[in-house]
Amino acid sequence: MSSFGSRLKHAFEEYGRLCVGIDPHPGMLPEWGLPDDASGLREFGSRVVEASVGRVGVVKPQVAFFEAYGVAGMRALAETIAEAKQAGLLVIADAKRGDIGSTMAAYAEAWLNPEGDFGADALTVSPFLGFGSLDPAVEAAHRYDAGLFVLALTSNPEGQEVQLARTEHGTIAAGIASRAAALNGEAELGSIGLVVGATTAYLAQANGIDLTQGRPPLLAPGYGAQGATAQAMREGFGDAWDQVLVNSSRDILRRGPEILALAEAVDEARADVA
């Protein structure tokens, strides 16, 4: 199998930079006329996948919204991931896992092993126990030709307390970006990416954080419902714009439940961020 970075680069070339979020927010299943249980989750996931196939190359289920429904919800998530992968979509599991040693290794095995129930193409991870705590996840990503998206400059206001805190070597976010870059080597598009909020991308330039170093893919949530526009993102990411994977969730999902309407929303968002 080719590296995650290579597969993502191909998805960019084939379908553009849009990633569709599979985020069954509380109350959304009844709004769609679906049962508020695991069967409704499964139908929700299936409709979003069907609307995405042939239009985008990547989907991103938010694990927490499935986990809230217990064991049956996690089974629905596993089935949604499997359906998306079988349809040729890359899947990013948005689980934001972060721990140390054997625990981090277990998380990575759970989410990155393609033979596992939740085997995704990439996983979001938190480096705030120290970047080195991610080593087991990095090793698993290399072993399975998978990817990681490391939280770096997130869109929540509280994040800046930590991410823009300064050490003698610069901001915490700059250090995270530098460590990710080193893992990517000379790849045209790396497999170890960063999460940089669509509404906070401008802070990278303002704080001297080089997002082009090491060519990490940049997962950018916050487009649409959270306020970021395509033009603002282009300006905020600057020279790193061609590395950006723009996530859209609520703006697309609120057009449901009909698959045709969801597909139209996907097409509109894809064209907007082209």
Q: Which residues are catalytic?
A: 96
Give the count of alpha carbons within 13 A of 127, CB side only: 26
- Least Cα distance to 94 among 215, 257, 228, 219 occurs for 219
Instruction: Round to whole Å and give the CA distance between 78 and 85.
Output: 11
Beta pairing class for 170-171 and 218-220: unpaired
List all residues 6 or more positions away from 160 whose beta carbon is below 8 Å from its beta carbon: 200, 203
DSSP 93: E
Beta bridge partners of 91: 59
- Dihedral, 124, 128, 134, 137 alpha carbons, nearest 10: -20
Sequential DSSP letters for 54-89: TT-SEEEEBHHHHHTTHHHHHHHHHHHHHHHHHTT-
Beta pairing class for 122-125 and 90-97: parallel
- Least Cα distance to 213 among 169, 175, 162, 160 occurs for 175
- Which tokens is 270 given? 């894809």
